[in-house]
Amino acid sequence: MKNEIFSENNPILVQKSGPLHGSVTVAGAKNSALKLMAACLLAPGKFTLHNVPAIADVKWMSELLEHMGASVTFNENQLKIEVPESLTPEAPYELVERMRASIVVLGPLLARFGQARVSVPGGDDFGHRPIDMHLRGLEELGARFTTSHGYIEAETSGLTGTRVLLEFPSVGATENLLMAAVLAEGTTVIDNAAREPEISDLADFLNQMGAEISGAGRSVITITGVKKLHPAEHTVIPDRIEAATYLAALGVVGGEIEIKQARADHMDMLIRKLNEMGMSISPSVEGLQASADKRLDSVDISTLPYPGVATDYKPLFVAMLSVAEGVGIVTENIFSGRFRYADELVRIGADIRIEGHHAVVRGLPALSGAPVRAHDIRAGAALVVAGLAAEGETRISDAYHISRGYQDLVGNLRSLGANISYS
């Protein structure tokens, strides 16, 4: 890819900070951009994506598209992708291992080329993450899979629309099915589909490419297959998890900030919970205006598919509850293993007890800075947030995880007055 994307792995140093003041602008949503990039495989020609975040995951997805034969250039958050008539429909181990989201190339490759070879995604810090729903749904559309030497070999003599009922509203399975069904013969209905804003963004992009999708953003999505698609130009929706990260930072140290580009309509449940905790959040001309003028109150949180509280917000909530007034119980319903970062928060003084898929968080008036490690993107962001409320210095290693999902978390927080830098 031309124009390198910034990826920083020096430890992040955070000192007790606040209150925060000023404004920041959120970048485009990682979890939308990656899927839009995969969707480009569905048609030959030149695509342009605007508001693409300059993050490591975008770089890796670009490398995957390039491995298949596409050419990709990135410049000032604009990604240009040129997809040739013929591609090598393969996602190799080295790239899938780095980024599980690579699995979303399966649907588009099958739809356009009738075959795909994709490395089996391994486990990660969230525990075991199967792809059975992706495969079962694609099988129902007419794909056949075999697995050998760590690769899923997929083929079809032609996908045919049908009703697919998902066992759980999986984001990735919904996306793979959407991208397969757009070129299938006849009509596909995805029942119990994921409703995340990133799904609607993908459907909007596919429709601009000539697809016929209705119902995205609701539980039943209907796709009428078309013979072929064409390139399109699209602007990625803003990243609601990045916006939530600034809100969480504000929650632990107080102040008043504007978060430009943030969309309140994508964050209803989050805003409701933060209001309950004592923050004040309202729409502004360019995004959201938020203030926090006292120690937050604890609340109970339970993660659920959209429009429930996103699992990606959860580490941020645990960080906020660590310094809130009272006790909060956080229940994880999406990824069973997603509590590893709690041990790191405990290292900086948080009082967190894990019981199965619940965390009981007793808020303390202050935390105490220590060396900690980021195990994934959101865990890293939660450590940054907690570090802002910890006396002394918090040193976060393996900070490359943060560059996977945040364009400039450190710079943006510093611009709000936080005492944070790379070492």
Binding residues (CB under 6 A) for ligand EPU: these are 30-31, 34, 101, 129-134, 168, 170-173, 194, 310-312, 334-335, 377-378, 405
Write phi, then psi, for 162 (nearest 5 degrees). Answer: -160, 180
Is the Cβ of residue 172 or residue 255 nearer to ligand EPU in the bound state?
A: 172
Name the token pair of 354.
Answer: 């894990």
Using Cβ positions, the residue closest to ligand EPU within the complex turns out to be: 172
Q: Cβ 379 to ligand EPU, closest distance in Å?
A: 9
Can you tell me the distance from the alpha carbon of 324 to that of 301, in angstroms, rounded to the nearest whole number? 14
CA distance from start to end of the chain: 28
Q: Cβ 129 to ligand EPU, closest distance in Å?
A: 4
Q: Cβ 363 to ligand EPU, closest distance in Å?
A: 25
Can you tell me the distance from the alpha carbon of 304 to that of 312, in angstroms, rounded to the nearest whole number? 10
Q: Cβ 136 to ligand EPU, closest distance in Å?
A: 8
* 69 Cβ neighbours under 8 A, 6+ residues apart: 84, 86, 87, 88
Is the Cβ of residue 44 or residue 305 nearer to ligand EPU in the bound state?
A: 305
Q: Cβ 205 to ligand EPU, closest distance in Å?
A: 15
Q: Taking the CB of residue 2, how many other CB atoms lie within 10 A of it?
A: 10
Helices (H), 69-151: 93-98, 106-113, 132-140
* 268 Cβ neighbours under 8 A, 6+ residues apart: 307
**CA neighbor of 273 nearest in space, from 310, 326, 238:** 310
Name the token pair of 285.
Answer: 């001309």
Residue 124 annotated to the active site: yes
Of these residues, 57, 124, 293, 376, which one is catalytic? 124
Is the Cβ of residue 19 or residue 308 nearer to ligand EPU in the bound state?
A: 308
Is the Cβ of residue 68 or residue 377 nearer to ligand EPU in the bound state?
A: 377
Q: Cβ 31 to ligand EPU, closest distance in Å?
A: 3
Q: Cβ 263 to ligand EPU, closest distance in Å?
A: 17
Q: What is the residue type of 56?
A: A
Q: What is the residue type of 352?
A: I
Is the Cβ of residue 132 or residue 293 nearer to ligand EPU in the bound state?
A: 132
Q: Cβ 332 to ligand EPU, closest distance in Å?
A: 9
* 153 Cβ neighbours under 8 A, 6+ residues apart: 115, 116, 117, 145, 146, 147
Can you tell me the distance from the alpha carbon of 79 to that of 59, in angstroms, rounded to the nearest whole number? 10
Is the Cβ of residue 7 or residue 311 nearer to ligand EPU in the bound state?
A: 311
* 130 Cβ neighbours under 8 A, 6+ residues apart: none
Is the Cβ of residue 247 or residue 367 nearer to ligand EPU in the bound state?
A: 247
Diameter of the chain by CA atoms? Answer: 63
Helices (H), 254-295: 268-276
Is the Cβ of residue 170 or residue 407 nearer to ligand EPU in the bound state?
A: 170
Can you tell me the distance from the alpha carbon of 320 to that of 252, in angstroms, rounded to the nearest whole number? 6
Query: Each residue of 164-193: b (16+ CB within 10 Å) or e?
Result: bebeebbbbbbbbbbbbbbbbeeebbbebb
- What residues act catalytically? 124
